Structure 1
């Protein structure tokens, strides 16, 4: 993961945690690539963490991240509200672009990291309130 992408992830995680959200993130869990888990370990942990989540937030990736696409599928099958962070002008899989027709998906376009973090917080707060009925 390049420095810009890692900074984007870390900024979003810090902002969400400052709002008292528990953030599950495989990249952080695996020390940003320094301590990979086995396929059996990471698959089970990712699935369990998505199952326990109130809102699922993801960068589908450009080029596509196969693991993230599996996680997006799990989140939609589990009925989780989903926030997908898309790069402006990038091309995404048809099923990512059309996912909103079968799941609760909010698409946010990535601009600068700070304004993106603000948009993500606002969106996650709204979706979490709706999901918990408060």
Structure 2
């Protein structure tokens, strides 16, 4: 696997930051760190706003983060997202960019949660694998089996 392959990892952010601590809960942070490690161990570089912005303590301005995220999605080889339930508005915009830019997309959908119709039907217009999961091992195992077909 080439070292220059890039993954953009998206998911809810502001809604997961505790207003008292200004930080994401450790279990949410660890879920993203585990995915970052998963891809880095396979030779990908990973762009993730949560990590870039200190898990909530270093939020960028809307103009800064929007420009960076659009650029990073434009140049990524694979886009991976937790869309959020309820829907994460920022993540849904990023999913829209990725689909419009014809990026391969992996959507991680937790069992028992409801997702927007356009998320459920995105594979009708974009290169999408939707992975339903109950626990982290489920989607890591499924990505392991399927991610090579994308990149």
TM-score, normalised to structure 2, is: 0.81
Q: How many Å separate the matches in 2 of 1:55 and 1:4?
A: 24
Q: How many Å separate the matches in 2 of 1:97 and 1:3?
A: 29
Q: How many pairs align?
A: 128
Q: Deviations over 1:16-47 (max 9, x none)?
A: 00101111101010010010001111000000
Question: Is it true that 1:15 corresponds to 2:15 in the alignment?
Answer: no
Question: Is it true that 1:118 corresponds to 2:127 in the alignment?
Answer: no
Question: Is it true that 1:90 corresponds to 2:150 in the alignment?
Answer: no
Q: Greater helix percent: which structure?
A: 1
Q: How many Å separate the matches in 2 of 1:35 and 1:117?
A: 28
Q: How many Å separate the matches in 1 of 2:146 and 2:29?
A: 21
Aligned residue number for residue 33 of structure 1: 56
RMSD: 1.1
Aligned-residue offset at 1:123: 2.4
Q: Deviations over 1:72-120 (max 9, x none)?
A: 0000000001100001011111111111111111000123223322322
Q: How many Å separate the matches in 1 of 2:146 and 2:74?
A: 20
> 2:106 is paired with a residue of what secondary structure?
strand
Q: How many Å separate the matches in 2 of 1:93 and 1:115?
A: 22
Structure 1: gaps of 5 or more residues: 129-134
Aligned-residue offset at 1:6: 1.7
> 1:36 is paired with a residue of what secondary structure?
coil
Q: Greater strand percent: which structure?
A: 2
Say whether the 8 Å CA contact 1:16–1:121 is kept in structure 2: no
Structure 2: gaps of 5 or more residues: 1-15, 17-24
